[in-house]
A and B are shown apart, each in its own frame.
Chain A
Amino acid sequence: MTTTETGTPGTSADPSPLRPRIRQPGLGAGRAIGLLNGGFLLFWGLITTLPLVWAILSSFKTNGEFRTDPMGFPDGLEGDNFARAWNAANIGQYFMNSVIVVTMSLTMTMLFGAMGAYVLARYDFPGNRLVYYSFLGGLVLPVFLALVPMFFVVRNTGSLPVIGGLLGLNSYLSLALVYVAFSMPFTVFFLAAFFRTLPTSVAEAGIVDGCSHFSLFFRVMLPMAKPGIISLALFNLLGHWNQYVLPLVIMQDDDKRVLAQGLGTLAATTGFRADWTALFAGLVIALMPVLIVYILFQRQVQAGLTAGILK
């Protein structure tokens, strides 16, 4: 089986061959294979972490240290890198932009997604399947096909009467709405499956108690769907926070850029400005929220992301 021999990409120095030992399983061989297994696992662990550790270490160096000894440890902790990244390189502004956009987009995605999914999952009405499948279709359509017309849709909403001022290009609300639209297919699909599994008896009890449709949703069904909502909210949070191409198209003003986008631009100009350590400081600033969410909700994040493709 080729699997065991594939090794790891990017390494010319592959450890000793695996196959001969596997052919003769004995006690000693078992131990050797065990060690080899451990070696492979550790190796991939290092491949995964080292580039990131290197970036974090670099964020604490001076530019001089970075130039002369890129692989070494920093002599001291150069806090000024973070100040330069936050202020001079505008990472602070980008960070706030990301927070604003993602707060709006996540709230709307979860609320509207849950509303749509609930109605589609639990109410019969003409056109139910049509709406459901048009959401589902969005799962396989490539984002890039929509990119060009979406740009014009967003631009044109800027000239709408009354609300035009809030929309258009370079608007937080526009970008948030675009995120909501692109998150709808998966959110509706996932939550509809979740709402379908909720027991009908509880809904009926609510009806007996005189709940309206609205209070049944907000006071009974939504709280019951909490586990599904949480894992999906984490999924969308990461997706929105990490988004790169959509803001690139919509947020063209420098002071409206979101974090991933601003970081990309910063990386492109870092060589000219000879300020590598500020770039890595910015990178660490961008990394931190994701790292914190991941560490705090590690189990839910893994479950949420993998459940998506198994459902």
Chain B
Amino acid sequence: MHPEHPEPHPEHPEPHEHGPDEVPHTHPDPGVDPHAPLTGGPRALRIGIGGPVGSGKTALVAALCRTLGEQLRLAVVTNDIYTTEDADFLLRNGVLPAERIRAVETGCCPHTAIRDDISANLDAVEDLEASLGPLDLVLVESGGDNLTATFSKGLIDQQIFVVDVSGGDKVPRKGGPGVTTADLLVINKTDLAPLVGADLSVMDRDARARRHELPTVFLSLAEDKAATPVAEWIRGLVAARAAGTPG
């Protein structure tokens, strides 16, 4: 019996040794994975992180990796528009080992890869879980897109939408699916508000009006390198999932 195969092999039911000089052998169907895909069992909580170009998605992911990486079994999928720059950023900053980061290429259409045809992202998430073993959390970072880009519920459980104050304090009022429907809205770079003349109270008021009960947090990664409010929100979801209550 083999530890990975609890059923006895039909032709060799008894324990036996392979001779040291045996000719190396392969599977009967080279190139074909003989294992059934992983099914059932608890899979990781999947959180999508979207938002316009330059709003700080990758910096937020890096901060979350630093804050949560010690406590949670964590992996990241990035969706760059045309390079592996975001994945490289995470690697360069050493926030996660390389085997915990996958980059998905999106053929000019970052929103397609997270919403209409999520296959490459699902493959990446499943490959991470298959190679690393059970995970608590997978962060899927979208390529920088526009205010209409949201994740498919077939890909993620919860989504964060990141905007920044330098995009103008009217962004929450403009709404759009990201601002309106994301499970968490992050208004980032609040340290820049005085420099760009953005009124945070206006953004707060408009976000409440657009989002009703859904939470919004203000963040300055320059001042809070741990992304504390976002990390707290994620910890709550992971805990709820572990307790078996819907996140």
Report if A and B associate in a common complex.
Answer: no
Residues of chain A having any CB pair with chain B under 8 Å: none
Query: Using a CB–CB distance below 8 Å, which chain B residues touch chain A?
Result: none
